Amino acid sequence: MNAMTKSASDLRRAARDHIRTPRLETPFHERLMALSEVNDWYDWAGYKAPHSLFDAELEYFAIRSTAALFDISPMVKYRITGPDAERYLNRLTLRDVRKLAVNRVHYTAWCDDHGHVLDDGTLFRLGEQEFRLCCQERHLPWLLDSAFGFTVDLHEETEEIAGLALQGPTSYAVLRDAGFAGVERLKPFDIAAFPHDGGEVTISRTGFTGDLGYELFLPRAKALSLWDRLWTAGQPHAIRAIGYGALNQTRIETGFIVANADFVTAEAALRSDRVRMPDEIGLDWLVDPDKPNFNGRRAILDARRNGTLKHILVGLEIEGNVPAEHAIVYYRKKHEAGLVTAAIWSPTAKRNIAIASLERPYGSKFTEDLWVEIYALRELKYQKLMKRAKIVPRPFVKLARRTATPPGLR
């Protein structure tokens, strides 16, 4: 009895200590804190991260009009090395890693044995048998279990490696003026190493905004000197630091999805009907059925062959200008068809857009006469709005400068 009482007491104390424990600070926190005017922070994987720094709307326009700096250090990062690294990752992920050249990046996802998506992310090939896997959630136990039988070394380097996203039409000009000679040769999804402060910074032409942009990774100790180098070079180009609110708007315009927002990861799902296969969240194009066996292959191909896929992720254009975030989607105004997972009024597209998860056959067989039920707060009273929606292709916004090589000068 005493042992049980002590155990319960220890649990309560641990819970209190967890609440008291401050969120971790990223290597760039000192600079972000100095720029923050609104004290608008949120928790990103245990780190204190800005939702906005001064004004989310103006931060959005910094991405689309000038250059924006976003701290991506909390993104979970794994270093995977060893003689079986390629073979291991080919077994783990959906795409054929053998086709990924050194100094290239590709977007990918990985599933459990039932074909349900565990997460999506980017895979950087830094050498013949040296990779960095970046993702939203922590997966070290799963990655270690999946490594059984392979000669690989797995190491989480989230704490050790600082990351910055530099996005927007003047992002190349900032890097050029900061002295990163040769960065103009980077094509989309290329990687290269550049000297910085007695060491190296890895720059990839990647991002989450659908705009011209780059991601920079380097050891934590050199983080602030990189920030200052970019910030100084960026002043003539109207550089701004931004938070997630602005980034989220641009990723919706580009039609990108976010784990545990647009779909529930297999490890996070509490109910069996919440999990999704790649084809159910628009990731069917990642699946390479011609490569050697990979996690979930049989289940994914069986679902395709047997027609048992239950959901579909679609882009919607909605009448009016009230964002339909978390609105219910209906067919003929009465049959519940699904849920909007992300929505905004797009300043660039000048359209009311959304990403929605629908239950088949809605969105596949029945694509017309769709409606969304929006509750708009007007002077302390909710007004129900039924607005017509139509399925449209993603991305909602497509910018030529994202892929232009060399980038245009601004």
Distances in Å between the alpha carbon of 367 and those of 104, 284, 338, 364?
A: 38, 19, 12, 6
Structure tokens given for 61: 């326009």
- Residue numbering of the annotated binding site for substrate: 215
Residue 236, CB half-sphere, CA atoms under 13 Å: how many? 9
Q: What fold is seen in the domain 272-392?
A: Elongation Factor Tu (Ef-tu); domain 3 (2.40.30)
Cβ proximity of 195 and 182 under 8 Å: no
Q: How far apart are CA 338 and CA 311, in angstroms?
A: 9
254-296 residue pLDDT tens: 999 999 999 999 998 999 889 999 999 999 999 999 999 999 9
The pLDDT assigned to 17 comes to 53
Question: What's the whole-model pTM score?
Answer: 0.92
Q: What fold is seen in the domain 76-156?
A: Alpha-Beta Plaits (3.30.70)
Band of pLDDT at residue 364, cut at 50, 70 and 90: very high
Residue 198, CB half-sphere, CA atoms under 13 Å: how many? 4
114-159 residue pLDDT tens: 999 999 999 999 999 999 999 988 999 999 999 999 999 999 999 9
- Residue numbering of the annotated binding site: 215
Q: Where are the beta strands (DSSP E) in 1-87?
A: 40-44, 47-52, 67-71, 76-81
Domain spans in the chain, listed from the N-terminal domain onward: 12-75+160-254, 76-156, 272-392
Q: How far apart are CA 381 and CA 376, in angstroms?
A: 8
Alpha carbon 85 to its chain's center: 24
What average pLDDT does this structure show over 96-123?
A: 98
Q: Cα(first)–Cα(last) distance of the chain, in Å?
A: 72
Cβ proximity of 74 and 44 under 8 Å: yes
Distances in Å between the alpha carbon of 277 and those of 135, 269, 286, 315?
A: 18, 13, 12, 18
- Which position has the higher pLDDT, 189 or 5? 189
Q: How far apart are CA 283 and CA 260, in angstroms?
A: 15
CATH superfamily of 12-75+160-254: Probable tRNA modification gtpase trme; domain 1 (3.30.1360.120)
Q: What does the mean pLDDT of the chain come to? A: 94
The pLDDT assigned to 410 comes to 57
Radius of gyration of the chain (CA): 22
